């Protein structure tokens, strides 16, 4: 059964960022229908297993887009626009 993730990330992202983020998330098996809502700093996608959601959250954090509320030592938005 497919579930939908609705991830609010810290900071902002632009159209250029969405391309990079999407490319990385598509490398995670069983994640699809990736959508971006820059004004809300929101990313949504469908996933099949909970561990895929965990992997996707790690990918976002490593790229500089940690989930809102996630504690990070030093945070700086990767968006340069």
Distance CA 55, CA 61 (A): 10
* Structural domain range at position 46: 3-62
36 located within any domain: yes
Q: Is 13 a domain residue?
A: yes
User: Position of tokens 């990767």?
Assistant: 78
User: Which three-class secondary structure state does DSSP give residue 2?
Assistant: coil
| Residue 16 structure tokens | 């250029």
CATH number, domain of 34, equals 3.30.70.100
Residue 44 domain flag: yes
pLDDT digits 0-9 by tens, 53-68: 999 999 999 998 999 9
pLDDT band at 74 (very low <50, low <70, confident <90, very high): low
- The per-residue pLDDT for range 19-49, each reduced to its tens digit, is 999 999 999 999 999 999 999 999 999 999 9
| Domain count along the chain | 1
Q: Is residue 67 part of a domain?
A: no
pLDDT band at 8 (very low <50, low <70, confident <90, very high): very high
Q: Is residue 74 part of a domain?
A: no
> Is pTM beyond 0.75 here?
yes
Residues 6+ apart with CB under 8 A from 16: 81
């Amino acid at each position: 059964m497919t579930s939908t993730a609705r991830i609010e990330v810290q900071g902002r992202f632009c159209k250029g960022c969405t391309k990079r983020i999407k490319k990385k998330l598509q490398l995670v098996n069983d994640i699809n229908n990736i959508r971006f809502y820059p004004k809300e700093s929101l990313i949504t996608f469908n996933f099949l297993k909970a561990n895929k959601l965990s992997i996707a959250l790690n990918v976002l954090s490593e790229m500089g887009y940690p989930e809102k509320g996630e504690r990070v030592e030093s945070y700086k938005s990767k968006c340069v626009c």
